Structure 1
């Protein structure tokens, strides 16, 4: 079968690979759509980062590059392994693309997203969503019901935003400011609104992304090239500052802006995956007793995220800005997002010509 494999920095190839075999307790998914994530772009430009390099096999898979990429995917069940129940061939499903040990203190506490040896389907081994078929354990399969598999491919990034919103101390009616209106910023905005935020402020300089923010649920959009964001947020909050801020860009100046924009005793949630060591002015935290917490991916969030989509509390379709075939992954997907990022949010990739 065809699969897109990462061979090294700037080197992704469409290879012929063996179709994976389904084992006991596993489900084979025929992939319909897989989204290109910002972390995929980081791997392409700066990696290997999460992808295990030669000589350093992943502790759970025992594998190194080349690996099949793609972790934001959905499709239909093609085959069920022995012992799998409650599912049928042909069901539409989204995949929670985790690899976890199940034994460490984090896993024992139910926080498997911070498993000490965790990995991801699409980053840590031969399985990935940029392929025709993928096999995962039943526990990572989430039924979509009547939702389309294109929307299903957005469940994973939406769950990232939902998890960040849930992890934060935001209460109903609070003001939140989201720095960055790329894919993760937009889904964070949508998740905050769905969870009852009173006012959501989006901070974004790119014209196309600014245009998407209101549709995601932003009440106010601030352009940092046109206004002093800290002053504007304080004006919008009666001088207090936002209750919580979300850093979705991975940029030092943006992190500083997030810290400066929250009220005394407020919280900054870092959602971005950084491509470099961050610089933080610690005195800015101390002076206002600002808390900074990290939010990694998701944990028990997929079902709630799917429910938001079914209840039409989030319009995920607005985030899809392109659909391409697997053969066009690099030129029509990765390079398009890198070279024209201001014009794109989420590009979906399908290995099935019939869906294009």
Structure 2
């Protein structure tokens, strides 16, 4: 089968690799669609980061480079291993793409397995990836999804779960006002979760296309251009001088973080969602004087079932956020290059590894 393999910084190749073995307790999945994530772009430009190196294997997967990329994917079950009796061939599924130590509790009541030592992701640290035609995944990480949800939209469940977990971390409630800094894929999907909960959403974004997408998709009530508007002042105006109740940093850009601090009300909550590749010049004095709660968030923990319910119930429509569909051979030129050099023109680009979805 064909798979996009990461060999190191700036080096992705489409290789022929063996089909995975569907062993006991695992599920064989024909990958339908896989999204290109910002993390994939970071690996391509700056990595290895989450990926292992050629010399040092990941401590859980035991794999070194090259690895198959892709962790935002949907597909159809083509085989089930011994001991898997609650999924059937032909069923539509998505994957919670974790690589977690076998000694870590990951049951329904666990809220911190994603913070365990050496945690990593399928499609970044080994065990196959969504940019291959097929993959075998441990049953624990496979989630069924209704056939009424198109498989291209289902591929966005994983990044939507990131937004769901971030909103959960914030404590936002219906009637609150939230400011989302950045309307890339994660910013827009975080906004979608907020709107589904009845929160008033203000988005700050440079790209006219992405501001328009935020408004047309209905996930934002207001979309502000930070070059043309004093965002913090406008948020205070919209809230009767109070400021936003919660804010979400989705860019890893210093000026965005500063703006969110300005726009929050005293005792507001600031959630940092983006992955920062450098240290922040953070204004601790302002945090102290406003008694701001600063919270980090990474990925998700037992968030997929609730996230899937939001989509299956129709509370969130993922269709507007898909702005491109390509095959595996166009991964770098049509996918990575667009998102690196012309990211203001796209939101989520999906890849069909077998080409059957095109």
Which residue is 2:126 aligned to? 125
Using the TM superposition, give the Cα deviation of residue 103 of structure 1 relative to its aligned residue in structure 2, in angstroms.
3.1
Conservation of the 8 A alpha-carbon contact between 1:325 and 1:351 = yes
Question: Any idea what the Cα deviations from partners look like across 1:50-84, whole Å, max 9, x if unmatched?
Answer: 11113322111111211110000000001100000
2:227 to 225, 241, 257: 225
Which residue is 1:19 aligned to? 19
Distance 2:13 2:100 in 1: 27
Distance 1:353 1:213 in 2: 29
Conservation of the 8 A alpha-carbon contact between 2:110 and 2:302 = no
The reply to whether residue 69 of structure 1 matches residue 69 of structure 2 is: yes
Question: Any idea what the Cα deviations from partners look like across 1:76-119, whole Å, max 9, x if unmatched?
Answer: 00110000011111101111101111535898953111112111
Q: What aligned pairs does 1:259-298 form with structure 2 within 5 A after superposition?
A: 259-298=261-300
Distance 2:65 2:256 in 1: 33
Gaps of 5+ in 2: none
Conservation of the 8 A alpha-carbon contact between 2:105 and 2:113 = no
Question: Any idea what the Cα deviations from partners look like across 1:207-253, whole Å, max 9, x if unmatched?
Answer: 11011111142011111000111111111111111000000001111
Give the secondary-structure state (helix, strand or coil) at the position aligned to 1:355.
coil
Using the TM superposition, give the Cα deviation of residue 149 of structure 1 relative to its aligned residue in structure 2, in angstroms.
1.1
Which residue is 2:242 aligned to? 240
Distance 2:339 2:151 in 1: 22
Question: Any idea what the Cα deviations from partners look like across 1:10-56, whole Å, max 9, x if unmatched?
Answer: 11100111111011110010001000001111111111111111332
Q: What aligned pairs does 1:118-267 form with structure 2 within 5 A after superposition?
A: 118-146=119-147, 147-197=149-199, 199-214=200-215, 215-267=217-269
Conservation of the 8 A alpha-carbon contact between 2:182 and 2:250 = yes
Distance 2:206 2:110 in 1: 40
Distance 1:95 1:321 in 2: 22
Which residue is 1:307 aligned to? 309
Distance 2:34 2:103 in 1: 30
Distance 1:354 1:55 in 2: 36
Distance 1:259 1:265 in 2: 11
Question: Any idea what the Cα deviations from partners look like across 1:244-296, whole Å, max 9, x if unmatched?
Answer: 00000011111111111111111100111122222211111111111110111
Using the TM superposition, give the Cα deviation of residue 352 of structure 1 relative to its aligned residue in structure 2, in angstroms.
2.2
Give the secondary-structure state (helix, strand or coil) at the position aligned to 2:201.
strand
Which residue is 2:40 aligned to? 40
Which residue is 1:86 aligned to? 86
Q: Which moved more, 1:178-187 or 1:58-67?
A: 58-67
TM-score (norm 1): 0.97
Using the TM superposition, give the Cα deviation of residue 205 of structure 1 relative to its aligned residue in structure 2, in angstroms.
1.0
Conservation of the 8 A alpha-carbon contact between 1:102 and 1:112 = no
Give the secondary-structure state (helix, strand or coil) at the position aligned to 1:29.
strand
Give the secondary-structure state (helix, strand or coil) at the position aligned to 1:130.
coil
Distance 1:63 1:216 in 2: 42
Conservation of the 8 A alpha-carbon contact between 1:186 and 1:216 = no
Distance 1:277 1:19 in 2: 41
Using the TM superposition, give the Cα deviation of residue 125 of structure 1 relative to its aligned residue in structure 2, in angstroms.
1.2
TM-score (norm 2): 0.96
Distance 1:352 1:208 in 2: 30
Conservation of the 8 A alpha-carbon contact between 1:29 and 1:79 = yes
Distance 1:94 1:308 in 2: 14
Distance 2:229 2:154 in 1: 37
Structure 1 stretches of 4+ with a deviation exceeding 4 A read 104-109
